[in-house]
Structure 1
Amino acid sequence: MSGDVVGGADVNGGADVSADGTGPEPFGARLRRAMDERGPLCVGIDPHASLLADWGLNDDIAGLERFSRTVVEALADRVAVLKPQSAFFERFGSRGVAVLEKSVEEARAAGALVVMDAKRGDIGSTMAAYATAFLEKGSPLFSDALTVSPYLGYGSLKPAVDLARQSGSGLFVLALTSNPEGAEVQHAVRPEDTALRNVGATMLAHLAEENAGQTPMGSFGAVVGATLGDLSSYDLAINGPLLAPGIGAQGATPADLPRVFGAAVRQVVPNVSRGVLRHGPDIGALRASSDLFAEEIRAAVEAA
C-alpha cells in the first residue's frame, strides 16, 4: 500500500463528535474512512503459545508483552483494524488483561481501530456488564467494536447494541462463521418456510434493520467466513461491515473475496492473523506482509 498514515485524531479522535455534532462519530463512519485511507485489512493480535515460540519468546507475561508491543509498534499506524483475541491474554490472569489494556490503548492512540475479539454473549445484567467492560468510554478495555455471540437469541444483545450506539462503538455478530461446527447452529433450518430460512440469514436480517438509513455504513456488522465459498443465497447487503476471517493460513485468498461476497465485497473487512504474524518478530517483515495483503485486497475489491 502507499504507506500513508491516518493519524489517531483522524480515526479515533474523531469519535468524540459526529458530523452533525449531536454525539460520538459512529464506528461505521470511522471504519469506512480507515478502510478507504489505509486499505481494507484487519490483522489479529493472537499470542498463542506456538506463535510465541515461533518468535523465540517464552510463553509467559514477558513474552506476551513483547509480542503485543511489537505487533502494535509495527502495524497500528498503518492498518485499518487490529483485532486482539482476548482469550490469549486472559489465560495469563490479571497480568495478561493488563497487557491487553495497554495494547488497546496504544493501538488506538496510534490510529488503528480496535475490534476486541471476545465473542461475549449472555442475557440481561450479565450482557450489560460485558458491554460496559468493552464498549463504555472510560473502561480500561474500551474498544471501537466487540465481537458478540447471538445464540441466546438476537434480543439478548440489546444491552450491547444500546451502549454501542451511545458510545459510537460497533458490534460484529457471529452469523456465518468458517469453522465446520458452526453449521449445525447457523445453518439450522427454521420451522417456517420463509426467506429467513436459517439462523445465519436471520442474524443478517437483524443487522440490516439496525443499520437502516446509516451513512456511509452502519456500525453493526456480521462475522462471515471468507472460506465459505459462494454465499449468493444469503442477503449480505446489511449496510454494515462484514468481518471475514480465513484469509491466509486458513486457505482463502484476497482474490476469493468477490466470488464469496459478491456485491457486498466493498463492505468486507478481511481478517489476516497468522499470515502476517508469522513474519515476526521482525517489524519490517510484519509491515511488508500487512502492506502486501492490504494492496492485494484493495486490488481485488476494486476489480470486482
Structure 2
Amino acid sequence: MNFADRLLTRVAETTPIVVGIDPNFNLMPKIFLPSSSSPTDVIDALAGFSKAVIDGVHRLAPALKFQSAYYEQYGSPGITALAQSIAYAKQKGLLIILDVKRGDIGSTSDAYGRAYLAGYTELAEGLRLTSDLAVDAITVNPFLGEDTLRSFVDLAIEHEKGLFILVKTSNPGSGMLQDRVIDGISVSERLAGMVERLGAGKGIGKTGYSCVGAVVGATYPAEATRLRTLMPRTIHLVPGVGAQGGRIETTKANFDERGMGAIIPISRAITYPSNRELSSSEYQQALGNAIKSYDRMLGHAGEAFPRTNM
C-alpha cells in the first residue's frame, strides 16, 4: 500500500499528532538513566526509554519520529539502541519516520535509500544484507538539487515507503535562504513545486496524496497557507510545536479543506514532563494525557478524523 494511504489511514484512526523520540538524559525521567557509561548500560538506557515511550503511545498515535542524531551522538551503542527501538516500534504496529535529513549526489543518496527505505543491500550475486535501520519514511535535504532526490523517490515508490523533503523549516534562521526571492518566487516556493512534481504519477495513492511529503514548520503559518496551495497532493510534516515556539492552533494552515494532509510531530512537550521523579506507570499515563491534550487543542474531531482511541 502507498505510504500516504497507510499514514492517512492511521491518522484517521487516531490523531494527526506524531510522537517524536529525541533521547536526552538531562530531560528524561530519572528511572531511565544509565547506571554507568559502559556501552551495554547506554544501550539499555536509550532502548529502555524509547520502549517506554512506545508502550505509552502506540494505541494513541499513528506514527513515531525518531531523531537519529540523538542516538548517533552515543556512537555504536546509540545506533544499536536505535535499531532495537525501531524493531520494537514495528512490533507495536507503529509507522516509523526517521529524521536523518540525508542529501547527497545520486550514488550516495542511493546508498542512504537502500539503508532506510529498501531495507537491504546487495553484497554480491545471491548475497543480500538486511538493514536493521529500515523504516517507513525519512526526512531528506534538497540542497543539492532535484537530480539527487530521484534515487530516494524511486526507492520510496518501489518499496512503498515515504519521504519528507525540507521545504520551509521551523528554525528562526530559515528565511535567510528559504525566503530569498529569485525570479519572482521564494526558494521555499520553488522547492514546493519540485516536491509536488517529484511525487506525481506513481507516487500518488488512493487518498490522492503522494508518498513524497514536505517538511513545513509550524512557526510560519502564513507561508504554510501558501505552500498548502502549491502542494495540494503533498502531506506536510509540521515540526516546531512546543519547545520551538510553534502554536498547535496555527497548524490548521497545513491541512486541506477536509482536515487531511498533515501530521504534527511533537517531541519534548510530550516525552519530557516537568516531574522527572515519575514511576514507569506514571510516565506512561503522562504520555497519554499529553497526546490527548494536544489532540483536543488541534480540534480535529469530526467526520474527517473519526476517533477510536481518544
Give the TM-score normalised by the residue count of structure 2.
0.81
Cα drift, residue 105 of structure 1? 1.5
The residue number in structure 2 matching 1:115 is 97
The residue number in structure 1 matching 2:249 is 255
Q: 1:176 aligns with which of 148, 163, 168?
A: 168
Aligned residues: CA RMSD:
2.3
- Runs (4+) off by over 4 Å: 53-56, 259-265, 300-303
Matched, 1:68 2:50: yes
The residue number in structure 1 matching 2:23 is 47
Query: Percent identity among equivalent residues?
Result: 34
Matched, 1:278 2:278: no
Whole-angstrom CA distance in 1 between matches of 2:4 and 2:252? 21
- Closer, same or farther: CA 55–252 of 1 in aligned 2, 3 Å: farther
- Closer, same or farther: CA 277–151 of 1 in aligned 2, 3 Å: same
Kindly indicate whether the alpha-carbon contact (under 8 Å) linking 2:254 and 2:262 is maintained by their aligned counterparts in 1.
no
The residue number in structure 2 matching 1:12 is none
The residue number in structure 2 matching 1:205 is 193
Larger Rg: 2
- Closer, same or farther: CA 229–240 of 1 in aligned 2, 3 Å: closer
Matched, 1:140 2:132: yes
Kindly indicate whether the alpha-carbon contact (under 8 Å) linking 1:39 and 1:295 is maintained by their aligned counterparts in 2.
no
Kindly indicate whether the alpha-carbon contact (under 8 Å) linking 1:121 and 1:150 is maintained by their aligned counterparts in 2.
yes
Kindly indicate whether the alpha-carbon contact (under 8 Å) linking 2:113 and 2:152 is maintained by their aligned counterparts in 1.
yes
- Please tell me the residue identity of whatever aligns with 1:291: K
- Please tell me the residue identity of whatever aligns with 1:198: S
- Closer, same or farther: CA 256–45 of 1 in aligned 2, 3 Å: same
Kindly indicate whether the alpha-carbon contact (under 8 Å) linking 2:193 and 2:231 is maintained by their aligned counterparts in 1.
no
- Closer, same or farther: CA 269–301 of 1 in aligned 2, 3 Å: farther
Q: Deviations over 1:45-90 (max 9, x none)?
A: 0002422376662484332122111111111232111000001111
- Please tell me the residue identity of whatever aligns with 1:36: A
Give the secondary structure class of the aligned counterpart of 2:298: helix
Equivalent pairs counted in the alignment come to 275
The residue number in structure 1 matching 2:123 is none
Q: 1:149 aligns with which of 141, 161, 164?
A: 141
Higher relative contact order (CA 8 A, sep 6+): 2
Q: Deviations over 1:120-143 (max 9, x none)?
A: 111121111111110013421111
Kindly indicate whether the alpha-carbon contact (under 8 Å) linking 1:38 and 1:80 is maintained by their aligned counterparts in 2.
yes
Unpaired segments ≥5 residues, structure 2: 120-129, 305-310
Give the TM-score normalised by the residue count of structure 1.
0.83
The residue number in structure 2 matching 1:30 is 6
Kindly indicate whether the alpha-carbon contact (under 8 Å) linking 2:259 and 2:300 is maintained by their aligned counterparts in 1.
no
Whole-angstrom CA distance in 2 between matches of 1:63 and 1:128? 32
Kindly indicate whether the alpha-carbon contact (under 8 Å) linking 1:52 and 1:63 is maintained by their aligned counterparts in 2.
no
Give the secondary structure class of the aligned counterpart of 1:99: helix
Give the secondary structure class of the aligned counterpart of 1:245: coil
More displaced stretch, 224-233 vs 262-271: 262-271
Unpaired segments ≥5 residues, structure 1: 1-24
